[in-house]
Amino acid sequence: MGVRRMLFIMLVSALFMLFNSQNALVSCALSSELQAKINAVNEDGPYIGLVIPNSFELDPLLNNSDYISSGYFIDVSGRRFHFGVIGQKPVILVITGLGMINAGITTQILLSNFNIEGVVHYGIAGNANEEHHIGDVAISHFWGHLGLWSWQRNGLGPQDKLPFEENGDYTRKYGYLRFADYTTSNDSVIAENSSYDNLLNNIYYQPEEVFPIDGTPEQSKHVLWVRVDDTYYNTASRLKNMKLEKCINSTTCLSHKPKLKFVTNGASASIFVDNAAYRSFIRETFSVTQVDMESASVALVCYQQRVPFIVIRALSNLAGGGSSEDSEEAETFASLVLNNSVKVVVEFVKLLPASSLSSFKTKTSSIGRVRLSEDFADELFEVQYARTRGEHFSFHKNLQCNSDLQGTAWGGPARPLDAQVR
């Protein structure tokens, strides 16, 4: 009896879910207008996607004289995509929000919907390397997510296998943190006793499970360090002597002349690191310079979608504080530091070859301040700069359909991922 009853309930729930999801798809299908907008802007691509953690980091780019805003944006699945031009490159700007999940979702929505030739992620980052200073802009060669752990049972050690290690799911090969090594005591005898224990024992850093679009679905591979695109990295290296701002006014200057630095590794996790001991640990164990909460996520999405990417992040302060640079200095120079990262981003985008812009027929639109392709300019004129505010509003209203769909589908208009092979 119990089983039949349960089957009945499952059937009813399944029908209910099916009904609901079809309803959702129908209501999205009505917004063919949104898909048409996306298709239209995609014809003006390919774009460089500028993926930005938050509005504090977006503002200086919006204000930069080399960025020409189209004033045009499209909202998809709760994210706003702004369209503009830097140099000869059409660009899409999007804010991710804080942390690894937000950064991953936003990057995937960008790549699934828009015609993107590469991703530039920028902002500010913590610094784990005392050779570098506040205001230096750094470009890491590799990015890794250091928030995926196997946390070992107390009583076991580096000689013991991790759970599921034999299946190839977890590994001891990348490195581990032993909590007991961070015990403090004013009894130096105890502190120096190497067999001092801690119930938290050890955590082992794990590579990410990845599913590249040219791999076999459902067959995972593992990656810890994702390499920045070689062409982008080499292009950026041409900027290594570029001048960065040192002073906010005639009297207040950074103690070191800021430089563009090329460093080995950057690390991200959904963890705000303000701890000097942990900073030293990741520096020593993983050769990390940049520490942040999004970059590795952007890297992992781009890696799996086979889209070139680079991360350009200015160093704000030493994560966890230090003697030479205090948080007061970081605060005083926050805007300068950020402006320097934007400066590097703009110069980097300007260096990218214009060859991929064969379809990009620049013209001055009737708005006068926007140079975009004919289609795009016409779109702009019709939609965004229409004479009446009413038209403008109805455009936004149409986009709402899409945001309503959050959670039921990937924003509806997403192109299937497997159509994204490039």
Ligand X SMILES: *[C@@H]1O[C@H](CO)[C@@H](O)[C@H](O)[C@H]1NC(C)=O
| Beta-carbon contacts of residue 335 (< 8 Å; ≥ 6 apart) | 60, 248
Nearer to ligand X, 195 or 234 (CB): 195
**Interface with ligand X by CB under 6 A: which range of 36-44, 105-113, 170-178, 189-197?**
189-197
Nearer to ligand X, 34 or 330 (CB): 330
Which residue in the set 13, 252, 324, 406 belongs to the binding site for ligand X (CB under 6 A)? 252
Give phi and psi for 365, each to the nearest 5: -75, 175
Q: By CB under 6 A, is residue 388 in contact with ligand X?
A: no
Distance of closest approach, residue 249 Cβ to ligand X, in angstroms: 4
**Interface with ligand X by CB under 6 A: which range of 21-29, 33-41, 139-147, 334-342?**
334-342
Nearer to ligand X, 195 or 219 (CB): 195
Q: On the CB side of 395, how many CA atoms lie within 13 Å of its CA?
A: 20
Q: Measured in whole angstroms, how far is the alpha carbon of residue 35 from the centre of its chain?
A: 24
Nearer to ligand X, 285 or 332 (CB): 332
Alpha helices per DSSP H over 82-172: 100-113
* Strand duo 137-145 + 225-227: pairing: antiparallel
Q: By CB under 6 A, is residue 69 in contact with ligand X?
A: no
Q: By CB under 6 A, is residue 63 in contact with ligand X?
A: yes
**Interface with ligand X by CB under 6 A: which range of 39-47, 54-62, 90-98, 306-314?**
54-62
Where do the DSSP E strands lie in 180-271? 202-205, 208-210, 221-223, 225-227, 260-268
In what helix (H) or strand (E) does residue 286 lie, and over which residues does it extend?
Answer: helix 276-286
DSSP letter for 126, please: E
Interaction pattern, residues 195-224, with ligand X; x per rule: CB under 6 A: x-----------------------------
Q: By CB under 6 A, is residue 339 in contact with ligand X?
A: yes
Q: By CB under 6 A, is residue 241 in contact with ligand X?
A: no
CA distance 354 to 342: 20
How many residues sit close enough to ligand X to count as binding (CB under 6 A)? Answer: 20
CA distance 75 to 57: 19
DSSP letter for 419, please: G
Nearer to ligand X, 28 or 338 (CB): 338
User: Any idea which residue has 């990937």 for tokens?
Assistant: 410
Closest-approach residue to ligand X (CB): 63
CA distance 119 to 267: 18
Which residue in the set 38, 100, 336, 346 belongs to the binding site for ligand X (CB under 6 A)? 336
Per the DSSP assignment, residues forming a β-bridge with 11 are: none
Q: Which amino acid is at 318?
A: L
Tokens coding 347: 């110069």
Q: By CB under 6 A, is residue 340 in contact with ligand X?
A: no
Q: By CB under 6 A, is residue 188 in contact with ligand X?
A: no
Q: By CB under 6 A, is residue 355 in contact with ligand X?
A: no
Which residues of this chain interact with ligand X, rule CB under 6 A?
Answer: 59-60, 62-64, 186, 189-190, 193, 195, 245, 248-252, 332, 335-336, 339
